[in-house]
Amino acid sequence: MLLTLLALLSGCPAPEPEACAGEVLFGAPNANTGLNADQCAPACADCGGAPWAPPDYTSSDREGWLAWTLVDAPAPGESDPYAGSVDVTEPGADAVCGFLPDSGSTYRLFDYESTAAATKAGARVTHYGRCGTCSSLQDLAVYAANPDLTEPVRACGLDNLDGDVTALTACIAALGFTDACATTWAWNTLHTRDACLTACMADLDAPYNNADGSLNDCLQCDEDESGAVFKAVAGRTRRNTGLASSICRPCSEVKPLVHDYPTAD
């Protein structure tokens, strides 16, 4: 199966941030995506780099991650990050968030300037970029178990149209997220609702990706209006974590990363 997926992939000479012409996008398409397996697959040629595909993480893998407890876990944000002055400056291209075992079954998260620096410190890379509210292994488990989070999070938003961030956070947390990560998702949902209402109501039943692979207008508006702050606050996304989503993306936006953590004591 992997060889079949890789055979579908095409590369391009230089790893530019734009999608390669005719490339197969990276993702896990479903009935909501709008693309088929010839257009989107959970594997990448990395636009001229070595072919790569993420492992098929199992329930046993996720249970192993959930056996760990994060020390000094981030607290849920009490104020709207979109109303403040969040620093959205992206760290260096090599920056990573590292998992460092502490004692027993506990661990800590630290920012490192590179994978090499994390490895030297005894840490394992859990995603690229800075650590944030969604960087825990608990949140990783939710991302890995749910390729399509757009539909359930959107349902939470529609069920909480009054803008009550507490109720919206509780709905999103029920998916398994930490409270801090769920709060970040809630603020993002409310901001996108306000900034992209017209586009999102029009695209309520639209596929996530258009026929040419681009995002529908609602998702593109969310990316443009809410994406930078979400990434800065949350830290972890599927793209910087090496996980496929039902929203298909150019391989140039995806970080190839394999999650292999020690067994908790």
Q: Domain boundaries in the chain?
A: 2-253
8 A C-beta contact, residue 216 and residue 209: yes
Phi-psi bin for 233: left (phi > 0), alpha (psi -120 to 50), beta?
alpha
User: Given this model, what pLDDT does residue 4 score?
Assistant: 32
Calculate helix-pair angle for 137-145, 59-66, nearest 10 degrees: 160
DSSP string across 90-141 = ---TT-EEEEEE-STTEEEEEEESSHHHHHHTT-EEEEES---TT-SHHHHH
8 A C-beta contact, residue 250 and residue 15: no
User: Tens-digit pLDDT profile for the chain (265 aa)?
Assistant: 333 333 333 333 333 333 344 579 999 999 999 999 999 999 988 644 678 899 999 999 999 999 999 999 999 988 999 998 899 999 999 999 999 999 999 999 999 999 999 999 999 999 999 999 999 999 999 999 999 999 999 999 999 988 899 999 999 999 999 999 999 999 999 999 999 999 999 999 999 999 999 999 999 999 999 999 999 999 999 999 999 999 999 999 999 999 999 999 8
The rounded Cα 172 to chain-centroid distance in angstroms is 15
8 A C-beta contact, residue 221 and residue 201: no
Question: How far apart (Å, rounded) are the C-alpha atoms in residues 137 and 262?
Answer: 12
Residue partners of 56: CB distance under 8 A and separation at least 6? none
User: Given this model, what pLDDT does residue 12 score?
Assistant: 33
Question: How far apart (Å, rounded) are the C-alpha atoms in residues 196 and 167?
Answer: 21
Q: Which of 152, 144, 147, 157 is nearest to 175 (CA)?
A: 152
